[in-house]
Amino acid sequence: MSLPALPDDWLELATAPGTRSQYSAGLKQFVTAGFTLPASPSQLKRYLGLKGARLSVSTLRSHISAIKAWHRRQGFVDPVNDEVRQAFKALGRLQKGTDKKKAATLSRAQIDTLLRSCEKDGLLGLRDGVMISLGLAAAMRRSELANLRFEDVERTEAGLAIRIRFSKTDQQGLGKVLVLPKLPAPLDPGPWLQKWREQSALCSGLLLRRVNRHGAVMGEGMTTHGLNHALQKRALALGLEGVSCHSLRRSFATLAVRNGVSLVDVAAVGRWQSLESLKEYVDATPKEAIAKAFS
């Protein structure tokens, strides 16, 4: 019995699709800034000095990891030496104590306003309605939204079943099925999905697609950057600033906790591996907590 041949790029499967996309963006920024590949340690230090005031240490670490991976794949010497690592430490100390820029958390009223704006905006609005309602109800990361397929969404007696094939916290691709109950309009993803499926005439492949300026659905799926841009554009048109796909996940966590859902249950829905990391997503309101404690 002969076994099927492995695909030519099978080694790339060791890296998550989201990470590969992130690495590609990091390499592009490095080259666009005027640096070359293969790179030297001095180039990396200059890049860190150039970008250190504008990008977070974690973002820069992702860029340098991308450069390391590129050198390893191409058979070149790793340019990250002790001096580059010291430069990272220096940046970490400089940025310590500075406020991290977080995506805006949306109130229930703002979420309703966002979704209502989608209702009379043709196919573009339907697609955005799917993105926003699913991103909120299932606390989805933008990489999860970008990779979601029509085949991953199924109506069942228990509710709307969403299969998340791969995520940041599921690097082995074991997958997880999340069943969403029926939610009040306009939050419920079910009607948005049904209208999107009917009016786009799509039934397979990537769920979220590009829609051109003429209102026609394009064949290719949306990138994580494209999803962010679409949501930011819609939010800014309504006067909502600082909104990104990350806002959907933060808003779910914050609204759930404020409504009495335990951190353990919130973590289970949003696939957070630790409660400490989840706490970073919850927009705390000490005034409300104090009032509630003595109510």
Asked if residue 108 has pLDDT above 60, the reply is yes
Nearest to 262 by CA among 279, 283, 243, 239: 279
Identify the sign of the CA torsion 9, 10, 14, 19: positive
- In this predicted structure, the answer to whether residue 181 has a pLDDT above a threshold of 80 is yes
The band of 11, judged by pLDDT with boundaries at 50, 70 and 90, is very low
Give mean pLDDT, residues 163-178: 72
More confident residue, 292 or 107: 107
> Is residue 58 very low, low, confident or very high in pLDDT (cuts 50, 70, 90)?
confident
pLDDT, mean of residues 138-167: 91
pLDDT at 26: 87
Which helix (H) or strand (E) segment holds residue 172: the answer is: none
Mean pLDDT of 11-22: 61
Look at residue 245 and tell me whether its pLDDT is greater than 50: yes
Instruction: For residue 175, give both structure tokens.
Output: 């997958």
Q: Tokens at residue 118, please?
A: 């989608």
SS3 199: helix
153, pLDDT greater than 70: yes
Q: Residue 223, Cα to own-chain centre: how many angstroms?
A: 10
pTM of the model: 0.71
> What sign has the CA pseudo-torsion 285, 236, 140, 198?
positive
The overall average pLDDT reported for the chain is 85
pLDDT at 171 over 80: no
What pLDDT shows up at residue 124? Answer: 95
Look-up of token digits 């001096």: 83
* Mean pLDDT, residues 234-258: 93
Q: Mutual orientation of helices 41-51 and 82-95 as an angle, nearest 10°?
A: 10
Helix, strand, coil content of the chain in percent (nearest 5): 55, 10, 35
pLDDT band at 123 (very low <50, low <70, confident <90, very high): very high
At 1 the pLDDT is 45
Higher-confidence residue of 77 and 220: namely: 77
**Whose CA is closest to 129, among 169, 168, 183?**
183
Say yes or no to pLDDT of 157 above 50: yes
Which amino acid, 268?
A
Backbone angles phi, psi at 130, to 5 degrees: -65, -50
Burial of 118 (0-12, 13-18, 19+ CB in 10 A): buried
pLDDT digits (tens, 9 = 90+) for 269-287: 998 888 888 887 887 665 5
**Is the predicted pLDDT of residue 238 greater than 90, yes or no?**
yes
Q: Which residue has the higher pLDDT, 228 or 10?
A: 228
Q: Which of 57-71, 112-126, 160-174, 224-238 has the lowest mean pLDDT?
A: 160-174
CA distances from 8 to 11, 16, 17, 176 (A): 8, 17, 16, 28
User: Considering only 53-62, 82-91, 196-205, 222-231, which range has the smallest mean pLDDT?
Assistant: 53-62
Residues 6 or more apart in contact with residue 140 via CB below 8 angstroms:
134, 148, 164, 248, 249
Query: What is the average per-residue pLDDT within 290-294?
Result: 53
Based on its alpha-carbon atoms, the radius of gyration of the chain, rounded to whole angstroms, reads 21
Distances in whole angstroms, Cα of residue 133 to Cα of each of 79, 81, 140, 144, 163? 44, 45, 10, 14, 16
Task: Please report the pLDDT score of residue 111 as a whole number.
Answer: 96
